[in-house]
Amino acid sequence: MIDMHCHILPGVDDGSPDMQESLAMAKKAVEAGITHLFATPHHLNERYVNVKNDIIDLLVEFNECLQQENIPLTVHPGQELRIHRELFVSLERGEVLTLDNNGKYLLLELPSGHVPTYTQELIYELLLKGITPIIVHPERNKELIKNHNLLFNLVQEGALTQLTSGSIIGLFGKNVKSFSKKILEHNLAHFIATDAHNVGSRGFSLQEAYETITKIYGIERTFYFKENVEQLIRGQSPAIVKPVQFKKKILGIF
Ligand SMILES: [Fe+2]
């Protein structure tokens, strides 16, 4: 399996603190059936700064360590970029790292409490530049939990989304699990990833999430998600199913 979002690089964010833990995470990933993953350190989320070249340098070093340790895992470059008004300045400065550094897909993180007013405009501008933003863990955003159609609007506009495996299996609580289910039912998810941070509670629960999806929606749905992330590794476009709008209930409350 392929995991497109995790914090495995050592000492750069709230994921792995050092190389020893990174290698332990890599072993756990392999045990969990993962062969390839994208290392996606936080960038500009109020605490961490990880620009493109720094990530790539560290990634080369990490892949060498994996080879020395005979751990059969291939790590690709990526970045989890917090949305900010000056995103295009960061792009011009060469600080932004798209998945596999191919200029096509970008992991975009919203603040956990709200969706900034300029989000739609920024997505539009990114798409114009040929970069498709993949909104990570929308199921954990408090404003989207209240206003589901805001997510529909972003997907309708052309953004893609990635659900976190732990959300699907209930590790983030009932509300997040329930919203994840609604996102799946309304065709508003395109990828599943672990967003792993450690070898403990935030680990590699990808297989468990796929099993849950298979049980509820059938094996074809799991194939859909697996195929989409494989397309990313190939540098090709994932399949996009038509998003379904949420019906408004009385008084506009979902
Ligand atoms: Fe993350």
In the beta sheet, which residues pair with residue 109? 82
Any long-range contacts for 47-54 (C-beta under 8 Å, 24+ apart)? 47/13, 47/14, 48/12, 48/13, 48/14, 50/12, 50/13, 50/79, 51/94, 51/95, 51/97, 52/79, 52/94, 52/95, 52/96, 52/97, 52/101, 53/94, 54/12
Q: Please give the distance, rounded to the nearest whole angstrom, from the Cα atom of residue 248 to the centre of ligand 1.
A: 31
Question: What pLDDT does 224 receive?
Answer: 98
Q: Please give the distance, rounded to the nearest whole angstrom, from the Cα atom of residue 15 to the centre of ligand 1.
A: 9
Phi and psi angles of residue 57, each rounded to the nearest 5 degrees, phi first? -60, -45
Terminal C-alpha separation, the chain: 35
Q: Please give the distance, rounded to the nearest whole angstrom, from the Cα atom of residue 252 to the centre of ligand 1.
A: 32
- For residue 26, pLDDT over 70 is answered with yes
pLDDT band at 248; cut points 50, 70, 90: confident
Q: Please give the distance, rounded to the nearest whole angstrom, from the Cα atom of residue 32 to the centre of ligand 1.
A: 18
Which domains occur in the chain, in start order? 2-252 (3.20.20.140)
Q: Please give the distance, rounded to the nearest whole angstrom, from the Cα atom of residue 190 to the centre of ligand 1.
A: 16
Sheet containing strand 42-43, strands side by side: 42-43, 80-82, 105-109, 132-136, 160-164, 191-193
Question: What pLDDT does 253 receive?
Answer: 54
Structure tokens at 46: 């109020």
For the CA atoms of the chain, what is the radius of gyration? Answer: 17
Phi and psi angles of residue 172, each rounded to the nearest 5 degrees, phi first? -110, 15
Structure tokens at 126: 């990114």
Are 195 and 135 spatial neighbours (Cβ–Cβ below 8 Å)?
no
pLDDT band at 46; cut points 50, 70, 90: confident
Q: 3-class SS at 164? A: strand
In the beta sheet, which residues pair with residue 161? 135
Mean predicted lDDT score pLDDT of the chain: 96
Q: Please give the distance, rounded to the nearest whole angstrom, from the Cα atom of residue 195 to the centre of ligand 1.
A: 5
Q: Please give the distance, rounded to the nearest whole angstrom, from the Cα atom of residue 40 to the centre of ligand 1.
A: 7
Question: What pLDDT does 201 receive?
Answer: 87
Integer Cα distance of 200 and 89 in angstroms: 37
97-114: per-residue pLDDT in tens? 999 999 999 999 999 999
Integer Cα distance of 38 and 196 in angstroms: 11
Q: Please give the distance, rounded to the nearest whole angstrom, from the Cα atom of residue 107 to the centre of ligand 1.
A: 9
Q: Please give the distance, rounded to the nearest whole angstrom, from the Cα atom of residue 247 to the centre of ligand 1.
A: 30
Q: Please give the distance, rounded to the nearest whole angstrom, from the Cα atom of residue 13 to the centre of ligand 1.
A: 10
Cβ neighbourhood burial of 142 (10 Å; 0-12, 13-18, 19+):
middle
